[in-house]
Amino acid sequence: MPGLTPAELDELLTFTTALARTAGELILEGSQAIQQASASDIGEKKNSVDLVTEYDVKVEELVKREIAAAYPTFQFIGEESYSAGSRPPLTDAPTFCVDPIDGTTNFVHAFPFACISIGLIDQRRPVLGVIYNPFLDHLYSGVAGHGSSLSRAGGAPQTLPLAPARPLPSLSQALVAVEWGSDRTAPAVTKKAESFTRLAGDPARGIARGRMAHSLRSIGSAALNFAMVAQGGLDTYWEIGCWPWDVCAGIVIAQEAGGFVTGGKDAPHDGDVTEGILTGRKYLVIRAIADTEGETGLEAQKRIAREWYDTVEDVPLDG
C-alpha cells in the first residue's frame, strides 16, 4: 500500500486543524459543565487518579464521527474507544490516533493546560499532528517533511522552534519536564522519585549522580509537554506509562521542529520513531540543539539522551 502523498497530507492538515478547533469548543463547553458538576460525574478508569469525564467520551465520539465521514477507509485508535475495548492492531493503513482530552486531570481541576491531540500514522510512522489547547487558544501542528508551527489566538502560524536552536552543554543547564503519570504503585513511584531526585539534586551536596538541572516541570499533558519542547520552552520531556494517543501528534510536531524523539533506556537511540517506540509507552524528547564546533546538533541530542539514561531509573510498566 503506497503512503499518503504530500497533497493528501496537506488536505488532511486542513481537515484536522478545523476538527481540532471544533473539538476545542466542546472541551470549553465541557469545562464549564464540569466545574458545576458533582464528584460523581467524574469517573475513574484504572484507579482514583486515572480520571475520565463524559466530555472525554463526547469529544472522542465527535472526532470519530467526523473522521469516519471524511475518511471512511482510515483506521481509528482513540483513548476512550481503547478503554471501551476497541483495540485494532496497527497496520500500514492511514490511522488516526486521538486523545480527545489530554490532561483530563487539569480539565477536571480547571488548570488551563488540556488539549485535543490528533495524530495520524501512515505506514506505521507518525506523519501528522495537531494539538489544540482551547483554554489558551494555542494550536500546534506539524506534517512530516514540512515543519511545524504554533498559532496563538488565531494569529498567523509561527514556525517552531520559536527561536533559533541554542547549544545544550549538559542536563545541568536544562529545564526538563517529567510526569508522575497514573501508575502510583510502589515500584513506579519509587523509581520516578529517585530519578527526579537525581535530575534536581546537587551532586556536591549529597545527591549521588545528581545533575542539578535548572528545574523540573510537569504540565500535566503529554501532548503539551511535547509541544513545549518543540517550541523551545522546555529542553527535554521524559515519561514512562503514557500511551500512543498522548504522544503521536506531539512526536511529529517535535521532530519537525528539529527535536529528537526516542523510547526507553533500551531502545535504539537513533531518532527513528518505529512502531516499537510509538507503542512502547516510554518516551524521551529533546529539543533542537544548535551545531557547535566539533559536535552536530544531532550528536548533542544523542549525548543528552545518553546522559538522561545514565541518570534516571527504568520504570516498570503497569498493565
What DSSP element (H or E) covers 139? strand 138-143
* Span from 158-166, 207-215, 216-224, 292-300 in contact with ligand IPD (CB under 6 A): 216-224
How many Cβ atoms from other residues are within 10 Å of residue 55's Cβ?
Answer: 24
Residue placing its CB nearer to ligand IPD in the complex, 247 or 257: 247
Can you state the percent helix, strand and coil of the chain, rounding each to 5? 40, 20, 40
Q: Active-site residue 183, yes or no?
A: no
Residue placing its CB nearer to ligand IPD in the complex, 212 or 227: 227
Q: Is 181 in the site for ligand IPD (CB under 6 A)?
A: yes
Q: Is 246 in the site for ligand IPD (CB under 6 A)?
A: yes
Q: Active-site residue 116, yes or no?
A: no
Please report how close the Cβ of residue 146 comes to ligand IPD at its closest, in angstroms: 26
What DSSP element (H or E) covers 282? strand 282-286
* Span from 11-19, 138-146, 191-199, 239-247 in contact with ligand IPD (CB under 6 A): 239-247
250 neighbors 230 (Cβ within 8 angstroms): yes
Choice among 16, 53, 104, 311 that is catalytic? 104
Q: Is 81 in the site for ligand IPD (CB under 6 A)?
A: no
Q: Which of 242, 251, 252, 257 is the binder for ligand IPD (CB under 6 A)?
A: 242
Q: Is 60 in the site for ligand IPD (CB under 6 A)?
A: no
CA 94 centroid distance within chain? 20
Q: Active-site residue 104, yes or no?
A: yes
79 neighbors 86 (Cβ within 8 angstroms): no
Q: Which of 129, 220, 232, 264 is the binder for ligand IPD (CB under 6 A)?
A: 220
Burial of 142 (0-12, 13-18, 19+ CB in 10 A): buried
Q: Active-site residue 60, yes or no?
A: no
59 neighbors 101 (Cβ within 8 angstroms): yes
217 phi, psi to nearest 5 deg = -130, 155
Chain length of the chain: 319
Q: Active-site residue 235, yes or no?
A: no
Q: Which of 30, 126, 210, 241 is the binder for ligand IPD (CB under 6 A)?
A: 241
Q: Active-site residue 246, yes or no?
A: yes
Structure-derived torsion over alpha carbons of residues 200, 205, 207, 211, reported in degrees to the nearest 10: 40
Here's the x/- map for ligand IPD, 13-52, by CB under 6 A: it reads as: ----------------------------------------
Q: Is 250 in the site for ligand IPD (CB under 6 A)?
A: no
* Span from 15-23, 147-155, 174-182, 290-298 in contact with ligand IPD (CB under 6 A): 174-182
198 neighbors 139 (Cβ within 8 angstroms): no
Rg (CA), the chain: 19
Size of residue set near ligand IPD by CB under 6 A: 15
What is the rounded distance in angstroms from the CA atom of residue 15 to the CA atom of residue 99? 17
Residue placing its CB nearer to ligand IPD in the complex, 181 or 263: 181
What is the rounded distance in angstroms from the CA atom of residue 142 to the CA atom of residue 154? 17
Q: Is 221 in the site for ligand IPD (CB under 6 A)?
A: yes
Here's the x/- map for ligand IPD, 111-150, by CB under 6 A: it reads as: ----------------------------------------
As given in the structure block, the three cell numbers for residue 260 are 529528537
Please report how close the Cβ of residue 223 comes to ligand IPD at its closest, in angstroms: 7
What is the rounded distance in angstroms from the CA atom of residue 160 to the CA atom of residue 148? 6
171 phi, psi to nearest 5 deg = -65, -20
Binding site for ligand IPD (CB under 6 A): 79, 99, 102-104, 179, 181-182, 220-222, 239, 241-242, 246
> What are the residue numbers of the active site?
79, 99, 101-102, 104, 246
